[in-house]
Structure 1
Amino acid sequence: MTGGTYTLLVEVPEATTISVGALGDQQFPAGWYAYTGSALGTGGFGRVDRHYELAAGDRETRHWHIDYLLGHPESRIRGDVRTPDSDIECAVASGLPEGPVDGFGASDCDCESHLAYAETGAELQTAVADAHRQARSE
C-alpha cells in the first residue's frame, strides 16, 4: 500500500473545548483546521482511511491527538491532500499558519504543532496545496 505525507482539512463550525489526551482541555475556535501527518508504515494511506472512519463514528479508539478532534461531534473532515512516497510531514506543517494548540501532533519531532488554523476553508486549502508543493520541490 502506498504511503507518504497527508494533510486533513477539518471544519469546526462552532467554537468548542475538546479534551486532547495528554494535552488536556484545549480551545478550538470556529473555523478550519489542517492536520499534517505521515503514513509511511506498512498500512500506508490506510491511516487516512482510519481517520475518516473515526470521524464518521465507525471507530472509537483514540491513538493520536487528531483522533480527539475528529471524534468530536461538531468536527467534519472536508478533504485531504496527499503526497505519496514523501516524508515531508514537518516541512508541510511548518509551511502552514499557526494553530491554537502547541504540541498537537508533534510529540515525536521538534515542530511547534502539526495543526494549522484559518477562519475560512478556501484560505486553508490554498495554504495546504502550496505547502505540499513547496515541500516536494525542496
Structure 2
Amino acid sequence: MTGGTYTLLLTLSDPVEVDVGALGTHTLPVGAYAYTGSALGSGGFARVDRHRRVAAGEHDTRHWHIDYLTGHPTTDLVAAVTSPGIDAECAVADRLPHGPVDGFGASDCNCRSHLAAGEDVESVRGAVETAHRHVREAA
C-alpha cells in the first residue's frame, strides 16, 4: 500500500476545548486547520482513512494528538492532501502558518507544531496545496 505525507483540512464551526494528552487542554477558535502527518508504515494512507473514521465517530481509540481534535463532534474533516512516496511531514508543516498549540503532532521531531490554523478553509487549502507542491518538486 502506498504511503507518504498527508495533510488533513479541518474546520471548526464552534470553539472547541480539547484535551490533547500530555499537551493539556486547549481551546481552539472557530476557523480552518491543517494537520500534517506521515503515513510511511506498511498500512500507508490507510492512516488517513482511520482519521476519517475517528471524525465520523466510527472509531473511539485515541493514539495521536490529532485524534483528540478529529474526534470532537464540532470538527469537520473536509479533505486530505497527499504526497505519495515522499517523507516530508516536517517540510510541509514548516511551510504552513503556525497553529494554536505548540508541540501538536510534533512529539517526535523538533517542529514547533504540525497543526496550522487559518480563518477559512480555502486559504488554508491553498497554503497546504502549495506546500505539498513544493516538497514534491524538491523530491
Q: TM-score under structure 2 normalisation?
A: 0.98
2:90 aligned with 1:90: yes
The equivalent of 1:107 in structure 2 is 107
Tell me the distance in 2 between the aligned counterparts of 1:127 and 1:111. 18
> Can you give the 5+ residue segments of structure 2 that lack an aligned partner in the other structure?
none
Tell me the distance in 2 between the aligned counterparts of 1:6 and 1:82. 4
Structure 1, 33-42 or 21-30: larger mean CA deviation: 21-30
Cα distance, 1:137 vs. partner?
A: 1.9
Q: Which amino acid aligns with 1:108?
A: D
Deviations 1:4-47 (A, max 9, x none): 00000000111121111111101101000000000000000000
Q: Which amino acid aligns with 1:97?
A: P
The equivalent of 2:42 in structure 1 is 42
Cα distance, 1:131 vs. partner?
A: 0.4
Q: Which amino acid aligns with 2:47?
A: R
- Secondary structure of 1:104's partner? coil
2:12 aligned with 1:20: no
- What is the root-mean-square deviation in Å for CA atoms of aligned residues? 0.6
The equivalent of 2:126 in structure 1 is 126
The equivalent of 1:76 in structure 2 is 76
Cα distance, 1:61 vs. partner?
A: 0.3
- Secondary structure of 2:27's partner? strand
Note the 1:28-67 alignment, pairs <5 A.
28-67=28-67
> Can you give the 5+ residue segments of structure 1 that lack an aligned partner in the other structure?
none
Q: Which amino acid aligns with 1:50?
A: R
Deviations 1:43-96 (A, max 9, x none): 000000000001101100000000000011100100010000000100000000
Tell me the distance in 2 between the aligned counterparts of 1:33 and 1:135. 20
Q: Which amino acid aligns with 1:134?
A: H
Tell me the distance in 2 between the aligned counterparts of 1:97 and 1:72. 22
Tell me the distance in 1 between the aligned counterparts of 2:57 and 2:29. 22
**Percent identity between the aligned chains?**
59
